[in-house]
């Protein structure tokens, strides 16, 4: 009769074949330090332990830094900036309205300076042109004129006297 097939230990090994060798294939064991990021050893509900991809756990957010008080110089600058800017704007607005008057005042000042200069220089010029004691100057002539007119739009008549 036919004998059942027996396996010998000298036969070529075919690991993982449930018919000839029902033993499981031995996987190499990894140390926890050798596991890549995102992979962990987990225990399944049926009790088997296996490697699995895991969701990375979010690191806790750092605590926000305590609010620093605003320095006094910053407050002062922040308060002065609009005030100074408003003052400059108001000054420019005022100068734009005052410009025609300032131009007229400069013209009046120049006229006053010319009048003072003429009043100061005229006697000096007259003294130098008349000479001293009449030695080199001609006799002075006086001319008088009398003009009369009747009414607002009347014709004027006059006489001329030479002395």
d(CA 152, CA 145): 20
Task: Tell me the CB-side half-sphere exposure of residue 154, using CA atoms within 13 A.
Answer: 9
The separation between the first and the last C-alpha atoms of the chain, rounded to the nearest angstrom, is: 188
HEC profile for 8-25? CCCCCCCCCCCCCCCCCC
pLDDT in tens, the chain (163 residues): 555 555 555 555 555 555 665 556 666 677 777 788 888 888 888 888 888 888 877 777 888 888 888 899 998 999 898 999 999 999 999 988 988 888 899 999 999 999 999 888 888 888 777 655 555 556 777 778 777 878 777 787 877 777 6
Going through 3-131 in order, the beta strands assigned E by DSSP cover 39-43, 49-53
């Amino acid at each position: 009769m036919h004998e059942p097939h027996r396996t010998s230990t000298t036969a070529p090994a075919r690991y993982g074949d449930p018919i000839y060798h029902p033993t499981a294939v031995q996987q190499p064991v990894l140390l926890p330090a050798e596991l890549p990021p995102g992979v962990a050893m987990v225990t399944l509900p049926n009790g088997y332990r296996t490697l699995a991809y895991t969701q990375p756990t979010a690191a806790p957010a750092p605590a926000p830094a305590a609010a620093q008080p605003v320095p006094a110089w910053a407050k002062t600058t922040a308060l002065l900036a609009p005030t100074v800017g408003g003052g400059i704007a108001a000054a420019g607005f005022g100068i734009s309205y005052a410009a025609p008057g300032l131009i007229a005042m400069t013209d009046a000042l120049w006229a006053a300076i010319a009048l003072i200069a003429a009043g100061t220089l005229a006697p000096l010029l007259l003294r130098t042109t008349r000479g001293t004691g009449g030695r080199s100057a001609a006799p002075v002539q006086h001319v008088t004129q009398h003009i009369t007119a009747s009414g607002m739009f009347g014709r004027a008549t006059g006489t001329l006297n030479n002395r």
